[in-house]
Amino acid sequence: MGGSLAGWPVEVSHDLDRVLATVDVCYLLRMQQERMDEALVPSLREYSATFGLTTRRADMLRDGAIVMHPGPMNRGVEVASEVAERPNAVITEQVANGVAVRMAVLFKLLGPGRAAGAAEALEVEEEPR
């Protein structure tokens, strides 16, 4: 186990197929292709074959396991479209909740009464006709 995980009750695996049947949550991260200036993976097809949650892999999840992804998804790369539409995939709810949480944090940071003033400052005045 790597030094950064020392003391944590976790097991590191590089074999997705071996561990899928044991997880409660399968949390996938997005390949940020727009930020990839160098070839970090041989191809998206190979990445998907090794790490993507295909329908075959999703069928390996135990009952009650949920699928999460922060969005936006690269369908067919990190997660198969059919898997993203399954009842145990909470991706759309996760994205919606993330927006609400960020809005609440921004409101809290602006402070009571300051949110309205900030919103007014951002309004664009219409040009006279």
Query: Is 128 a member of any domain?
Result: no
pLDDT at 118: 54
Question: Could you tell me if 54 and 95 lie in one domain?
Answer: no
Quickly tell me which residue has 């690269």 as its tokens: 74
Containing structural domain, residue 54: 12-89
pLDDT higher at 112 or 82? 82
Question: Could you tell me if 81 and 96 lie in one domain?
Answer: no
Query: Is 129 a member of any domain?
Result: no
Say if residue 62's pLDDT is above 90: yes
Mean per-residue pLDDT of the chain: 83
Q: Give the HSE-up count for residue 115: Cα atoms under 13 Å, Cβ half-sphere.
A: 9
User: Torsions phi, psi of 25, nearest 5?
Assistant: -135, 130
Share of the chain above pLDDT 70, in %: 78
Instruction: Name which of 7-16, 28-37, 83-92 the model is least confident about.
Output: 28-37
Per the structure, the count of domains in the chain is 2
